[in-house]
Amino acid sequence: MPRKINNFFVIPCALLMLVVACDSKQVYDAYQSVPEKWHKDSLITFKLTAPDTTNAYNLYINLRNTNGYQYSNLFLIAELQYPNGKTIKDTLEYKMAAPNGELLGEGFTDIKENKLWYKGYDAPFIFEESGDYTITIQQAMRKNGDAKGILELEGITDIGFRVEHK
More confident: 12 or 77: 77
pLDDT averaged over every residue in the chain = 89
Q: Which residues contact 138 (CB under 8 A, 6 or more apart)?
A: 40, 41, 42, 43, 44, 76, 77, 78
Chain CA centroid to CA 46, Å: 11
pLDDT for 143: 84
Considering the four listed CATH numbers 1.10.3470, 1.10.10, 3.40.1130, 2.60.120, the one that applies to the domain covering 25-165 is 2.60.120
Residue 14, phi then psi, degrees to nearest 5: -65, -40
Residue 8 has pLDDT above 60, yes or no: no
**Tens digit of pLDDT for each residue in 127-165?**
999 999 999 999 999 887 777 889 999 999 999 999 999
pLDDT for 12: 54
pLDDT for 164: 97
Instruction: Provide the percentage of residues in the chain whose pLDDT is more than 90.
Output: 73
Q: What is the 3-state secondary structure (H, E, C) of the chain?
A: CCCCCCHHHHHHHHHHHHHHHCCCCEEEEEEEECCCEEECCCCEEEEEECCCCCCEEEEEEEEEECCCCCCCEEEEEEEEECCCCCEEEEEEEEECECCCCCECCECCCCCEEEEEEEECCCCCEECCCCCEEEEEEEECCCCCCCCCCCCEEECEEEEEEEEEEC
Indicate the pTM of the whole model: 0.83
pLDDT for 18: 47
Q: Which band of pLDDT confidence, cut at 50, 70 and 90, is reported for residue 9?
A: low
**Tens digit of pLDDT for each residue in 101-121?**
889 999 988 899 999 999 999
Domain range summary for the chain, segments of one domain joined by +:
25-165
